[in-house]
Every structure is written in C-alpha cells, then in structure tokens.
Amino acid sequence: MEKIKIGTRGSLLAMWQAEHIAELLNKAGLATELVTIETKGDKVLDVSIAKIGSKGVFTEELEEQLASGSVHIAVHSAKDLQSTLPRGFEIIAFTERERVNDVLVSHKKGISLEDRKTPIVVGTSSTRRVAVLKHYFPHIKTVEVRGNLQTRFRKMEEGHCDALLLAYAGVHRMGLADKIAQVLDTDLFVPAVGQGSVAVEASSSLDPAIKKAIRDAVNHDRTAARLIAERAFLETLEGGCSIPVFGLATLHEDRLKIKGGIISLNGKTIVQDAVTGKVADARALGKKLAERLLDKGGDAILKEIKMQLKK
C-alpha cells in the first residue's frame, strides 16, 4: 500500500499525537510521512478562542489538504474536533483513551484548590473549567492563559498564575506529568467530550482499502463507543469547544453510561444528569441525555451563554 501521509498541526502536542498514529500504522506494516500544516488557531494568539468563533479554527487548513488529497489523514485531539464535521469528512478511528481527568499543574509545591487561607490563582482558557471552578471553588481566582502547553507553562513560571488547569492527557503527552499537583475528580470536573483520545479524520472519498487498513491499525472499539455517545450528546446540544458543556461516557461490560451537563459562565447554574443503556445504542443515549438537559433548563443556559460570548 502507498505511504500514508499524515497531516498535523506543528505544536508539540499535535506532533506527539501524529507520531503516535504513525507508530500504530508502522506497527501494522504501513509506511508513513508527517506533513505539518499551520492553522488560523495557531496564528491568532491574541484573541480568545471563544471570540474568534470555535468553528474549525484548528481544523480548516487540515481539511483543505484532506480534500485536495495532499494528505490521506489528519490527526487531532478528539476533543478539539467539532461535533459535526463539514460535509465530505469523517472520523475513521479513535485511539485508546488515556486517563480522562483534568489536573492542576504547578511549578510550586503544596498547591491545592481546597486551600482557602491563601487561595491560588489558576490559569486556564477554558470556559468549562472557569465555570466549574466558580461553582465548586468560589474562592479561586482565574486568569486567561492561552497558547500551546509550553507557552502556558512559561507564562505560569513568569508569574501570571500559581497553577494551570489542564487535561491530564496533554500534560502526560508533553512529559510534564511530574508537575501535577492534583488529579481532579471527574464528578466535579467532568471532562470535555472526547478528552484523552486522538482522532483520525479523512475525506469521505479516501480509498476504502486505505481507510480500512488505517482503522484496523488505530481504532480502539471500546473508546470509539464512548466517544460516539459523547459526540452525539454534544451534537444535540450544538456545543462547540468554547461552550461550557461537559460529558463523559463509561463502559461497564456491555452497559454504557453517559453523564454530562451544562453550566452557566458564572458557575451559578448547572444542570446535569446521566443515562445508561446498551453499547449498541451509544448515539441514542448521548442524544437522550442532551434532550433531558435541554428540557431541565439547559436550553435557557445555552441561549444566555451564546449571547454573552457574542459580546
């Protein structure tokens, strides 16, 4: 089979992920080549993602090259992929998910969210994390820290904040796990949809034999089932990555449980719930959870958030 050209952003995290996919393909006997592609999200660093509009800022240029055939696949953090891909593109594989938790990382010792005597300042650019902090840890101050993980660590060390709130997955992939001060409970910090898995995107017109070979080498079925439920949940809510929505599916033998919620930007109002059913109904379960949340007041929270983010 021809050499698989893998399109990726150039950040260290993106490169780690692309190399991880290359390794899985190489193990299955497929030759690979990495092609780095710069996206709008990499160029615009002075405007918060919530304001640029989250749609496709990190994916558009990759998709152009998928469409033209100059790369066979594009690799993304699964959680950065919009819940509805543009027409003509599909996800052909999800890698085995690693630890899904958010973590607090710091260059300082003895850092904790619970410390009320000397509250720490937490850097994050995620509306979900800010809202959840406000809800459960109202004494904590937050500051926006953007950029790739290396930039964020540098800003923290320069004194912008005492700690960063990040996904374990990214911290681990960057070899920075020794900076973890706290692994946060997934009942409080329910992760973003897709957190911890790497997704392979392709053009729907990619040769089916190549598609199958890649899928066989990369896809982890039990992770895929969980992500299908979570992504159906997000799709029903029409949530992009700048909306503070969270969702996590887990598997217990052949039972799939998905929990999730919506939280107002100020952390005051939160609606959450969970549903359980058969793995085979993953999509339907995600949709059902979303519909329940919308009914329970989530609809009003989302409307308010969308208005606030437009400002």
Ligand X SMILES: NCc1[nH]cc(CCC(=O)O)c1CC(=O)O
Q: Which positions are annotated as active-site residues?
A: 80
Lookup: tokens for 33: 């080549």
What is the closest distance, in whole angstroms, from the C-beta atom of residue 58 to ligand X in the complex?
9
**Residue 72 or 79 having the CB closest to ligand X:** 79
Choice from 11, 32, 82, 195 touching ligand X (CB under 6 A): 195
**Residue 167 or 271 having the CB closest to ligand X:** 167
Q: 226 exposed, middle or buried (CB, 10 Å; 0-12, 13-18, 19+)? A: buried
What is the closest distance, in whole angstroms, from the C-beta atom of residue 206 to ligand X in the complex?
24
Per-residue x/- mask for ligand X, residues 138 to 177, rule CB under 6 A? ----------------------------xx-xx-------
- Residue 63 makes contact with ligand X by CB under 6 A: no
Q: Which residue is nearest to ligand X (CB)?
A: 170
- Residue 196 makes contact with ligand X by CB under 6 A: yes
**Residue 170 or 260 having the CB closest to ligand X:** 170
**Residue 169 or 248 having the CB closest to ligand X:** 169
Per-residue x/- mask for ligand X, residues 242 to 261, rule CB under 6 A? --------------------
Residues 213, 28 contacting (CB under 8 angstroms): yes
**Residue 166 or 202 having the CB closest to ligand X:** 166
73-132: which residues touch ligand X (CB under 6 A)?
77, 79-80
- Residue 298 makes contact with ligand X by CB under 6 A: no
What is the closest distance, in whole angstroms, from the C-beta atom of residue 56 to ligand X in the complex?
14
The site that binds ligand X (CB under 6 A) totals a number of residues, namely 9
The site for ligand X (CB under 6 A) is made up of 77, 79-80, 166-167, 169-170, 195-196
